[in-house]
Amino acid sequence: MNSDKKRFEKRGLDYPILDGKRTLPGKYYHSQEIYEEEVEKIFYKFWIYACRAEEISNVGDYKLVQVEDESLILVRDKDGSVQAHFNVCSHRGTQLCTESSGNFKSKSIQCPYHAWTYALDGKLLGAPLMTEGDNFSKEDCALKKAHVHIWEGFVFLSLAEKPEPFEVQMEALIGKFSDWKMDELRIAHHIRYDLKCNWKLILQNYQECYHCPGVHPLLSELTPVQSAQHDFSKGAVIGGFMDLTKERGSMTMDGNAAAPPVCEVSGDDLQRIYYYSVYPNLLLTPHPDFVLFHHITALGPGQIVNDCYWLFQPNVINDEEAQAGIKSAVEFWDLTNKQDWQVCEQMQLGTKSKRFTRGYYSGREDVLYALDRELLKALGHDDPESTE
Amino acid sequence: MNSDKKRFEKRGLDYPILDGKRTLPGKYYHSQEIYEEEVEKIFYKFWIYACRAEEISNVGDYKLVQVEDESLILVRDKDGSVQAHFNVCSHRGTQLCTESSGNFKSKSIQCPYHAWTYALDGKLLGAPLMTEGDNFSKEDCALKKAHVHIWEGFVFLSLAEKPEPFEVQMEALIGKFSDWKMDELRIAHHIRYDLKCNWKLILQNYQECYHCPGVHPLLSELTPVQSAQHDFSKGAVIGGFMDLTKERGSMTMDGNAAAPPVCEVSGDDLQRIYYYSVYPNLLLTPHPDFVLFHHITALGPGQIVNDCYWLFQPNVINDEEAQAGIKSAVEFWDLTNKQDWQVCEQMQLGTKSKRFTRGYYSGREDVLYALDRELLKALGHDDPESTE
Amino acid sequence: MNSDKKRFEKRGLDYPILDGKRTLPGKYYHSQEIYEEEVEKIFYKFWIYACRAEEISNVGDYKLVQVEDESLILVRDKDGSVQAHFNVCSHRGTQLCTESSGNFKSKSIQCPYHAWTYALDGKLLGAPLMTEGDNFSKEDCALKKAHVHIWEGFVFLSLAEKPEPFEVQMEALIGKFSDWKMDELRIAHHIRYDLKCNWKLILQNYQECYHCPGVHPLLSELTPVQSAQHDFSKGAVIGGFMDLTKERGSMTMDGNAAAPPVCEVSGDDLQRIYYYSVYPNLLLTPHPDFVLFHHITALGPGQIVNDCYWLFQPNVINDEEAQAGIKSAVEFWDLTNKQDWQVCEQMQLGTKSKRFTRGYYSGREDVLYALDRELLKALGHDDPESTE
């Protein structure tokens, strides 16, 4: 285990007990105007999670990714790189693909309307009946692109013209979980959840365990709330962990590991569940024996799609005898997820009241207070704390 | 019968024949902006009907009541009083209850998210892991409350900080129907109607019988349109009555009384059906033998829920032989209601036309003209009559 | 065949090859604000197609026609004329009719609410209990009307107070297709399509055949794309034609005529399919043997209803042996329509992207460029071409 890992920095002085610090006003979960600001200043600007590299492993494989109004085609190019094209024909704006995933057999992308044809790298190859001249050149008509960065099998996008370097936004993540060799893991299971709540309520829910004793009796038995440690936060990455009570345990229905430890995971990591928010749309939960992650897609101030994935080692996925363990890990988290969705949706409903001004944070919710500050900073809003 | 009852004041000089007086412009039924003004200046300010006391008769019984964006918990407290709490946890704004009615078995209200617990009177009893201090005291964190007033078994709410006294808003109602002893009556039947029209169209429909001959042939046979009398109006209460043609009659499918006269009802009241609008959301219809009422919940400028209830004496409800009579009263009003909903929904559609400027009132619709004036006054709008 | 017909004017110098001319910005298909401008300045102002005269052939027959928020009653009056009344009672604004078509048996129109009764010409006949006087006269209370003009069996409306003469807006249409005697044809079939796209995308799709080879393989076999000729455009009418390859052919599943030539159709017209946009809501497609037309009803920036009708000679419709031919014409166009709807809906999706600024027109899409200019002129918007 690498001794210079950042994971052992403990809760610092900048996160004191915050009893009585106040939450954001309710409008941050309901206002269409604030949501549109978030889209512009966060979803269209930050690096955001898009898909797993394994989902588009062969040349021509593609997956559509929706970022608010924008549809993007993530495609494996001939040179093995991943390209992210806006799903819009340069001719008259027709959406090129409508199937959520597939393979471009011809190794080119053709518009169904007037048959304009693009290379997998987005270059315009052919525009029937169009003559290049003063006002039209193929070169100007390549598909518009988003930036792509792959980190340990996770494909990230940025829709910004000139994004901040990935390594700056994700500094706290780099090298953090290298023992898991996550690029070698594969998707064993996927569940899509449609939720009626603001995207930030899911992040808040993920970042505190104050709710665990009441909401998650089984989880609290496997990893006691008292063991929750704030681990690290820098920029877009905020993390912590909880300790497993059982030797060789994990988050499954019977509390036993679902599979052998992943790759080179060892030492303390064998007894810990890590919870890392990779702001704004990825929640990453490495276990000793598998990795769980949530991909959040906002569809408005009060609606999201939450895609939950379970990553295991390929040899585990292919081992018939290991299926019961995988099933138990899926069942545990599906149960736990649904417990969380219920309270998040109730919080969405309650915070709409005009009588809800601002709530209170306990000392166990200090990370939420920090998340709120990051949001206000990204939006360029005055901090309500400083204006009272 | 009490001789100083207010019920015999006759149509006064202030309600002359108004042929040709004009209606409000169509935007009063369609504009989102005007609707939001109504919510602020009427629904969040006036005393409004919430539920029957009998629906929450035991300690811990509760019913949720929706007032536009606000959800309220009406609950029977240990001391027998009724409390109305905003359904919002003081901690982070989670909605406390989602079931439309029930009983708090523990005689306390617990948030499902972080287990903050409140007494039935709204006081915060416990906030796990929270330390009282400079920024946080339990005393500040009681549930927010609405005002409550119970009149003859009808529970009214006001969301205003300092509402007008109930007796001022409802002056015309006090003592008016004491012979019915309505607090002793019980709900025999309930039907919920979802309607696509503005809430004011239902009040207008209720306050004139000009439409009865064409829309309600059966009703017009039992109570001829010529018998309609404007009775009284003061502030939020406007009323009238119609005469039953049949001795010992009532509003049922065969026109015969559904049950013996209610409590102390006698004299002229045995031959009358009263129609009282208790502005803004209750329509009260005392019959000799039962009481019908409508509870209107606005959900936007063009959508309402209308809950219709039939109240009978408990001994009638429990008498097997009386069931046919109750059924006949329910059937009559369900039929009549649906006839009204049809024309109200057609009026909602028609008034949306840009070519509908303002309509005309007949002398039979003078009360509607007065209702419009009350609305304009409550909203602080100029009267279109005075600006022509 | 009339030698002074306007149909042989060929593509003029004002329609050069336009490779690289730019499309409108995407907001013209998505902005609610621009859509509302279009409603005011186009749908509520231009002559628009309403229904076929045959649909209301007997006295008292009516059909409801929706023009955005406005519902109109098209009714056959006693004198044989067609009247277009706003579907709004003058009394309090109730919608008079809700059935999409029917017959006023009483030869009068009665409001279902308070029984106000109007003659078929809209005059108020009776208002029960209303007294004429200073503020109310029946004369002021006639139904509001739209203007009506019938051209070859097609009933057109204008909601403008003072519309441009029909002959001015439709100059290019007058006398154009007199050989078809379209007022003698009858509806053999009707299909309603609900589409998720802007109304202008349907007109654009109709006015270019650049998409035909890829989208319509069967159509392209029957009428090769190279044969497409721009025919004429003046004001609201823009047209062209394509040549049938097969002798005595038509647009059917096997390419053979579905019926004998219509009325006096002869000469070149026996080998041509005409495509005429009658701006803004009628697409007229005369074949040698039948007439196809589309009636477009916009329901918002991204939603339309498209009613497609097949007109044949009455003797063909009544001939049992001709049914297979009619069926084949219906099947061909239903197939072709659905191919078009698919790409139009994909264009609606793609043009929503913020990265779609403006697209490119080929020389085959010159009519679309002209249509865009007409739109900008009607809206009074600056031309983006001139502001670059």
- Closest residue in chain C to residue B216, using alpha carbons only: C113
The 3-state secondary structure of chain B, one letter per residue: CCCCCHHHCCCCCCCCCCCCEECCCHHHHCCHHHHHHHHHHHHCCCEEEEEEHHHHCCCCEEEEEEECCEEEEEEECCCCCEEEEECCCCCCCCCCCCCCEEECCCCEEECCCCCCEEECCCCEEECCCCCCECCECHHHHCCCEEEEEEECCEEEEECCCCCCCHHHHCHHHCCCCHHHCHHHCEEEEEEEEEECCCHHHHHHHHCCCCCHHHHCHHHHHHCCHHHCEEEEEECCEEEEEEECCCCCECCCCCCECCCCCCCCCCHHHHHEEEEEEECCCEEEEECCCCEEEEEEEECCCCCEEEEEEEEECHHHHCCHHHHHHHHHHHHHHHHHHHHHHHHHHHHHHHCCCCCCCCCEECHHHHHHHHHHHHHHHHHCCCCHHHHC
The shortest C-alpha distance from B90 to chain A (Å) reads 6
Nearest to C26 among A93, A129, A133 (CB): A93
Nearest to B114 among A214, A354, A355 (CB): A214
| C-alpha dist (Å) from residue C197 to A94, A190, B324 | 12, 33, 55
Which chains contact C through at least 3 pairs of Cβ atoms less than 8 Å apart? A, B
Query: Above 80 in pLDDT, residue C16?
Result: no
- The pLDDT of B288-315, averaged and rounded, is 98
Q: Tell me, what's the pLDDT at B387?
A: 63
Cβ contact, residue pair C69, B362, below 8 Å: no
- The pLDDT of C298-315, averaged and rounded, is 98
Q: Convert the pLDDT of each residue in B55-99 to its tens digit.
A: 999 999 999 999 999 999 999 999 999 999 999 999 999 999 999
- Contact residues, chain A, for B93 at CB < 8 Å: 23, 26, 347, 350-351, 353, 356, 359
Query: Above 50 in pLDDT, residue A362?
Result: yes
How many beta-carbon pairs under 8 angstroms link A with C? 98
Q: Tell me, what's the pLDDT at A16?
A: 43
Q: Tell me, what's the pLDDT at B133?
A: 76
pLDDT band at C321 (very low <50, low <70, confident <90, very high): very high
Q: Convert the pLDDT of each residue in B44-57 to its tens digit.
A: 999 999 999 999 99
The shortest C-alpha distance from C242 to chain A (Å) reads 18
Instruction: Specify the CATH class of A48-163 in words.
Output: mainly beta
- Closest residue in chain A to residue B110, using alpha carbons only: A214
- Higher pLDDT, residue C141 or C364: C141
Q: What is the CATH number of domain A6-45+173-387?
A: 3.90.380.10
Query: Above 90 in pLDDT, residue A262?
Result: yes
Nearest to A352 among B69, B91, B132 (CB): B69
Task: Output the average pLDDT for chain C.
Answer: 92
Cβ contact, residue pair B353, C135, below 8 Å: no
Query: Above 60 in pLDDT, residue A217?
Result: yes
Which of A247, A299, A274, A265 minimizes the C-alpha distance to A180? A265
Q: Tell me, what's the pLDDT at A12?
A: 32
In this predicted structure, which of A234-243, A321-330, B116-125, B151-160 has the lowest mean pLDDT?
A: A234-243
Q: Tell me, what's the pLDDT at A235?
A: 72
Query: Above 50 in pLDDT, residue B9?
Result: no
Q: Tell me, what's the pLDDT at A11?
A: 33
Does the ipTM surpass 0.95? no
In this predicted structure, which of A10-19, C183-192, C286-295, C366-375 has the lowest mean pLDDT?
A: A10-19
Query: Above 50 in pLDDT, residue B312?
Result: yes
Q: Tell me, what's the pLDDT at C6?
A: 36
Which of A135, A93, A99, A133 minimizes the C-alpha distance to A116? A93
pLDDT above 90 as % of chain C: 81
Q: Convert the pLDDT of each residue in C48-57 to its tens digit.
A: 999 999 999 9
Query: Above 80 in pLDDT, residue C234?
Result: no
Q: Tell me, what's the pLDDT at C123?
A: 98
Q: Tell me, what's the pLDDT at B232?
A: 64
- Contact residues, chain C, for B350 at CB < 8 Å: 71, 87-89, 93-96
- Closest residue in chain C to residue B369, using alpha carbons only: C92
- The pLDDT of C360-387, averaged and rounded, is 88
Query: Above 60 in pLDDT, residue B225?
Result: yes
Query: Above 90 in pLDDT, residue B28?
Result: yes
pLDDT above 90 as % of chain B: 81
- Closest residue in chain B to residue C115, using alpha carbons only: B214
- Contact residues, chain C, for B19 at CB < 8 Å: 130-133, 135-136
The shortest C-alpha distance from A331 to chain C (Å) reads 37
The shortest C-alpha distance from A95 to chain C (Å) reads 4
Task: Output the average pLDDT for chain B.
Answer: 92
- Contact residues, chain C, for A117 at CB < 8 Å: none
- The pLDDT of B216-220, averaged and rounded, is 95
Place of tokens 């006003």: A25
Domain covering B6-45+178-387: architecture:
Alpha-Beta Complex (3.90)
Query: Above 50 in pLDDT, residue C10?
Result: no
Cβ contact, residue pair C98, B210, below 8 Å: no
How many beta-carbon pairs under 8 angstroms link B with C? 99
For strands C82-86 and C145-151, give the pairing.
antiparallel
Q: Tell me, what's the pLDDT at A19?
A: 62
Query: Above 70 in pLDDT, residue A326?
Result: yes
Q: Tell me, what's the pLDDT at B318?
A: 97
Q: Tell me, what's the pLDDT at B364?
A: 83
- Contact residues, chain C, for B220 at CB < 8 Å: none
Cβ contact, residue pair B136, A347, below 8 Å: no
Task: Output the average pLDDT for chain A.
Answer: 92
Which chains contact B through at least 3 pairs of Cβ atoms less than 8 Å apart? A, C
| Element holding C154 (H helix, E strand) | strand C154-158
Query: Above 90 in pLDDT, residue C322?
Result: yes
Query: Above 60 in pLDDT, residue B171?
Result: yes
Cβ contact, residue pair B90, A359, below 8 Å: yes
What is the rounded distance in angstroms from the CA atom of residue B131 to the CA atom of residue A336?
A: 28
- The pLDDT of B341-361, averaged and rounded, is 96
Which of B380, B356, B49 minimizes the C-alpha distance to B199? B49
pLDDT band at C3 (very low <50, low <70, confident <90, very high): very low
Q: Tell me, what's the pLDDT at C240?
A: 86
Q: Tell me, what's the pLDDT at B18?
A: 54
pLDDT band at C199 (very low <50, low <70, confident <90, very high): very high
- Contact residues, chain C, for A95 at CB < 8 Å: 346-347, 349-350
Cβ contact, residue pair C215, A113, below 8 Å: yes
pLDDT above 70 as % of chain B: 93
Total-model pTM: 0.92
How many beta-carbon pairs under 8 angstroms link A with B? 97
The shortest C-alpha distance from A117 to chain C (Å) reads 12
Token pair belonging to A315: 């040899």
pLDDT band at C354 (very low <50, low <70, confident <90, very high): very high
Q: Does domain B55-152 have CATH number 3.40.50.360?
A: no
Interface residues of A toward B, Cβ cutoff 8 Å, are 17, 19-21, 23, 26, 210-211, 213-215, 342-343, 346-347, 349-356, 359-364
Q: Tell me, what's the pLDDT at A315?
A: 97
Q: Tell me, what's the pLDDT at B294?
A: 98
Q: Are B6-45+178-387 and B55-152 equal in CATH topology?
A: no
Q: Tell me, what's the pLDDT at A237?
A: 87
Cβ contact, residue pair A347, B92, below 8 Å: yes
CATH topology assigned to domain C49-158: Rieske Iron-sulfur Protein (2.102.10)
Cβ contact, residue pair C19, A133, below 8 Å: yes
Q: Tell me, what's the pLDDT at C139?
A: 92
Q: Tell me, what's the pLDDT at B135?
A: 78
Q: Tell me, what's the pLDDT at B22?
A: 92
Q: Tell me, what's the pLDDT at C18?
A: 55
Q: Convert the pLDDT of each residue in B234-293 to its tens digit.
A: 777 888 899 999 999 999 999 999 999 999 999 999 999 999 999 999 999 999 999 999
What is the rounded distance in angstroms from the CA atom of residue C344 to the CA atom of residue C371?
A: 17
- Contact residues, chain A, for B98 at CB < 8 Å: 346, 349
pLDDT band at C9 (very low <50, low <70, confident <90, very high): very low
Question: What are the sequence ranges of the domains in chain A?
Answer: 6-45+173-387, 48-163
What is the rounded distance in angstroms from the CA atom of residue A54 to the CA atom of residue A184?
A: 9
Q: Convert the pLDDT of each residue in A25-60 to its tens digit.
A: 999 999 999 999 999 999 999 999 999 999 999 999
The shortest C-alpha distance from C11 to chain A (Å) reads 18
- Closest residue in chain B to residue C92, using alpha carbons only: B359
- The pLDDT of B92-109, averaged and rounded, is 97
Q: What is the CATH number of domain C6-45+184-387?
A: 3.90.380.10
- The pLDDT of C126-148, averaged and rounded, is 89
Note if the bond before C286 is cis, omega within 30 degrees.
no
Cβ contact, residue pair C91, B360, below 8 Å: yes
